[in-house]
Amino acid sequence: MADANNPHDAQFKAVVSDEDNVRSLMQMILPGEILANVDLSGIEVLPGEIASTDLASSFTDLLVRAPYGEGSLNVLYLYEHKSYEDKDVSIQLYRYMGNVWQRDSRCGVPCWPFVCVVVYHGEKEWSAGTELRERIPVPDEVIPYFPNFRFELFEASKVDMGKVVGKPSFRIMIYLWSQRSATDRKSVIRSAFEILAGGCSPLEMQLHINYIVQVEDVEPDDVVKLARESKLERGVEVVMSTYEKIRQAAKEEGLEEGREEGREEGLAEGFERGLVLAVEVRFGKEGLDSIASIRESRNISVLGKVQDALRKAKDIAEFRTLLGSIR
């Protein structure tokens, strides 16, 4: 799971904190033969923290338990949300399942089967496979001994928005995911604001506008204008407030001053701190790991190029690619 500071994760976790949105997600993603046996009225969202044998903890994006069939069977639904392609996600899911089974066995409660789902909204088509044995090559004679499993893959870029039902907050999340590769970003934002105007609460409006501001490469004045055109007056206030907070944070951390007066060591340090903050807010721990070797130099010219890469990148994969040309 990506760092909680990642705006993609923050949006997903906030939306699925509403059980109605969880039901909408399950109805949209689960195969028909499984969905037909699930009692959606009895779903229970479980804690996402899972302790492992080494006393460390792992965090899943969404873990749901629901009655299955006519007997006393429950099935656990494990959702992992990815904004970039991850070839190790099957290993990650397998570890989650083992930790849950071990925890439940020690507590004397039943161990239930899992249906794993990867929710993916990267710009490129998923090519990392959907089975554990696609990640770990297995000789034919070893297959009977290998604990293979597969996960259900939901690619947002292939969704038909005409078939997406649910609350406005859920629909806007799916819409924004489905439009990651669209070139006309202003049209995407305008349509998103129109969905917001259809009945989101103030907190939901702030959540999605914060997300748009953080991930979209569109000038602030244009975003404000689009909010006004969509008759989203409360949204105009949120947009302006969000941009002001970002600008102020950058100023306080020396980001703006550092670029203008980079010759002075103190400002170079401030620029570096501000850039680290911006990268962490956008891409979490993965972003920080990507710039670890670069930030040590405190070279204003290099840090400026990293800032440019941060502004251009639409996801962590593109950010890493842009960083590769700097080194």
Whether 125 and 110 have beta carbons less than 8 Å apart is answered as no
70 and 131 in a single domain? The answer is yes
26 and 156 in a single domain? The answer is yes
Residue 175 lies in a domain: no
242 and 266 in a single domain? The answer is no
Per-residue pLDDT tens over the stretch 256-306: 554 555 444 554 565 566 677 677 767 778 878 888 777 666 666 777 788
**Cα–Cα distance measured from residue 155 to residue 237, given in angstroms and rounded to the nearest whole number:** 33
63 and 104 in a single domain? The answer is yes
292 and 208 in a single domain? The answer is no
The per-residue pLDDT for 318 is 85
For the chain, percent of residues with pLDDT exceeding 70: 83
115 and 150 in a single domain? The answer is yes
Per-residue pLDDT tens over the stretch 96-108: 999 999 989 999 9
Its domain, for residue 233, covers: 182-248
Residue 169 lies in a domain: no
Residue 219 lies in a domain: yes
Model pTM score:
0.69
